[in-house]
Amino acid sequence: KNQVEQSPQSLIILEGKNCTLQCNYTVSPFSNLRWYKQDTGRGPVSLTIMTFSENTKSNGRYTATLDADTKQSSLHITASQLSDSASYICVVSRSSNTGKLIFGQGTTLQVKP
């Protein structure tokens, strides 16, 4: 069964601290893995997209890693800011042209001052 699981479910950190979110997937065949940030009451916004050949990709203070062998990905946030408070969703795309994405449940991050 094609699934995407994220951990932790929620996380609270202090402003300025770093954090790492985890994503495990069982999607096959694998095409690419995406991390999205979703603010409350808004649509998701893309942070990174990685194919199986990419191990790491950065977008500002966000760095995503991918281990296609173990089917694990992580999103590392450096020097967190209050505006980082949001839900972070790991999304995997299968090798097809249907356009369907498989979503994780998301990790809710709260950054406190």
Partner 1 sequence: GAVVSQHPSWVICKSGTSVKIECRSLDFQATTMFWYRQFPKQSLMLMATSNEGSKATYEQGVEKDKFLINHASLTLSTLTVTSAHPEDSSFYICSNGALSGRVGDEQYFGPGTRLTVT
Question: Interface with partner 1 by CB under 8 A: which residues?
Answer: 31-32, 36, 41-46, 49, 51, 89, 93-101, 103-106, 108
Least distance in angstroms from the C-beta of 65 to partner 1? 17
Pick 5 or 67: Cβ nearer partner 1: 5
Alpha-carbon distance of 105 to 66, in angstroms, equals 18
The whole-angstrom separation of Cα 8 and Cα 78 is 17
Euclidean distance between CA atoms 14 and 19, whole angstroms = 10
CB of 16 to partner 1, least distance (A): 27
Q: How far apart are CA 109 and CA 61, in angstroms?
A: 15
Closer to partner 1 by CB, 99 or 113: give it. Answer: 99
CB of 46 to partner 1, least distance (A): 6
